[in-house]
Amino acid sequence: MLLQEFLGNAFNKYESISPLIAVTKMNDENSLIVDVRDPQEFIKSHIEDAQNIPLAKLEEQLPKLGKHKSHPLIVVCQTGARSATASKTLSKAGFEQVFNMAGGMQSWEDNKLPIKNSSKNKE
């Protein structure tokens, strides 16, 4: 089991980071937060300035993200599972700095980090 996890991490071209490390990455003015949850989840609570691109639409939205290929991309979902899938997709598409936020919004909120509620979807 430990070997499987080690090999999985060795071949991932993205890095899993905690919400607190994500905050330090967000301080880079070129970073982009990509929230891959469904719009109704995003509207309830999200990280300020996050772009909502549901996982099911990620591949078709890749051209819109093209200008961020060399910038830090912080990928988030509710628990970290969908964002791991999205992080793989982004890495395979040539994005150089992809970071999966481990634990997702659940962990973000558990750490009492700020959230934003909105009635509109940013794209």
As annotated, the active-site residues are 77
- In the block, tokens 């700095």 appear at 97
37 DSSP 8-state letter: S
CA distance 75 to 83: 6
CB 89 within 8 A of CB 20: no
Question: Is residue 35 within 8 Å of 76, Cβ to Cβ?
Answer: yes
Residue bearing tokens 């996890």: 5
Report the distance separating Cα 114 and Cα 11, nearest Å. Answer: 33
> What does the alpha-carbon distance between residue 76 and residue 5 come to, in Å, rounded to a whole number?
21
